A and B are shown apart, each in its own frame.
Chain A
Amino acid sequence: MRLFWIVAWSLSAAVAWGQPEDSPPSNVNARYRVESVELQPGGFNNLSASLRNRLQGLVGAHFDQASFDELGRRIRDELRNARVQMRVVRGSEPDQVSVVFEVLLSNRTEFDMSLPRVLYHSKQNFTFGLETTVRRGRHTFSGMALTDNDQLIERYSGVGAGYEVAPARRVRFKMQVASWRSQWSGVTEQAANGDLYRARQHFDPTATISISRPLTLQLGVSVERLEMLQPAAAHQLSSAANLTLRYQRRWELGPDATQGLEASYGIRSASAALGSDFVYTRHHWEARYQHRRGHSEWNGSVEAGLLVGRAPLFERFTLGNSRRLRGWNRFDLDPLGSDRYTHASLDYRFRWLRLIYDTGAGWRRNAPLVLRHSASAGVTASGVTALVAFPLRNGSIEPLFLLGTNF
């Protein structure tokens, strides 16, 4: 019976999905004009200027439930841990309505469980992560189990835990601990020169400060204790101070069009003064742009990284995974990862269709830069994407298959 309803919902959603953009589900109150928009209690003071403007801009317009639903979600996002209910009531004059958002600060304990990483890669096999979150008021506790053979040059598997607290509206503190077991491919073992480790324990306290609404600064330290393979049972410590400046902004261009820009710069610096056996500095730049109109969505990104000094292998840059140069196998590019890289990607989506072009290069100091390209095509639905990715090169081309979420 449940299967039946899932099928029925899917078909019903397909019926709704087939409607043109200008004919959303009807609400008879759409013929009334909005007399006022209120947020109770406290008013709009705790909301961003853009959201306040958006809410007040709907006064005088005809009631549009989809717009107000979307704004209700944005209010909930901005007022963390709050539940938001929308109520539409008669206005003071006939043919007018007032919209009231009621904010209920949650004192109850909320539990969530998610799969932040699910991926099958035909060359790299499975990546799978499970995360549980318990949230009460301003406090969030999380636990995680993960096996990842995509992001780094190693497969790392293990468990982690985190705690996050938001003592003020613009400040958040977060602390994470994790224990990872590392596995290496044969080509990496052959190429490595005594830098491989068996396991690592990770400790990462950070503070995130919202400087202004689109700009945040993250400060912290990252401590990694490595259990080296050679010599056996030896330990090394990698301690780094890190700083990330991030800009995130989203604009609404119309009833069915948005654009967003996200840019960040991060630096991580490890030195002997922090007790680190590794001394290095790692820079990372990234910018992403998204434009969405109707069923069309464009995503463009550029990123680059620079690693100077002797760093552990988990800090090295990887291309040829589910996010960069998707048609390539990362071990064919560099089994030890690179210490410099640049990458750009153009991702187009129309309804369920997804097309991606990637270009980038990873190289080492004093080595030549070889620019590579790949193209991917596939389908995406409800957050699940299936892609076939090809390296664009002369000679034999072996397509790769990727299936999963969040890539």
Chain B
Amino acid sequence: MNSAALTVALFVTTLPAGDGLTVHLRNNDISVSAARLEVIRDPVLTRLKSGSSVAFDFHLALWSGTRSNLRRRAFERFVVSYDLWEEKYAVTGLRKPRISATRLSPEAVGPWCLQQIKLANIDLTRDERVWVRLDVRAVDPKQDADLFGADGVSLVNLIELLSRPAKRDNLRWTLESGALRVSELKP
């Protein structure tokens, strides 16, 4: 690790972000928070209240220098369920070691998931510009249907899978920071 990066790493920094995404740098780890990330809404809400669990994929990506230089990305999958008796939400991360939270309000589910995802051990120099983008997607149960069933490859499922983002924007959320210069960060 070079000295500039080490200096940056000592900062505990919060970066202002566009579109409500706030970027944090702590001990070389990038994490994010959002003022609003309400992932519990229809049609996910209906599935949860029917007792089914719903998986969410979180993808966090960092570009540095130029927008074409993808520096690091992280994926996490969380499973959300609705407690039928307590009327609260529970979340479990699938990566080991398992992390989970219970008795969450619907508004707290997205922020809790965001707290669990980070880009670790990134060397950043003071002059670098960075962009951070968060993509969240509720996993449609049909997405898990086998494309390769006993009757062969279902082209309809494949076409549906590839066309789904355009048709189901209500299951996907994207938040981006603007271009941020590391040297401008303040503790």
Contact = CB atoms under 8 A, between A and B. Distances in A.
B90 interface: yes
Given A16-B94, A32-B85, A8 B75 contact: yes
B84 A27 contact: no
Contacts of B53: 25-27, 65
A131 B148 CA distance: 14
A145 B94 CA distance: 43
A406 B147 CA distance: 12
A97 B84 contact: yes
Contacts of A1: 165
B95 interface: yes
B72 interface: no
Given A12-B55, A15-B95, A27-B81, 16 more contacts: A12-B139, A15-B94, A26-B53, A27-B79, A28-B102, A29-B51, A63-B51, A86-B50, A89-B84, A97-B51, A112-B154, A114-B154, A115-B153, A115-B155, A129-B152, A383-B153
B100 A26 contact: yes
A15 B77 contact: yes
Contacts of A27: 51-53, 79, 81
A16 B75 CA distance: 11
A90 B143 contact: no
A79 to B, nearest CB: 18
Report the interface size class on chain A.
Answer: 35 or more
Contacts of B135: 4-5, 8
Contacts of A16: 55, 77, 94
Interface of B: 50-53, 55, 57, 59, 75-77, 79, 81-85, 89-90, 92, 94-96, 98, 100, 102, 135, 137, 139, 143, 146-156, 162, 165
Contacts of A4: 59, 135
A384 interface: yes
Contacts of A18: 96
Contacts of A11: 75
A88 B84 contact: yes
Contact of A117 (B76, B96, B139, B152): B152
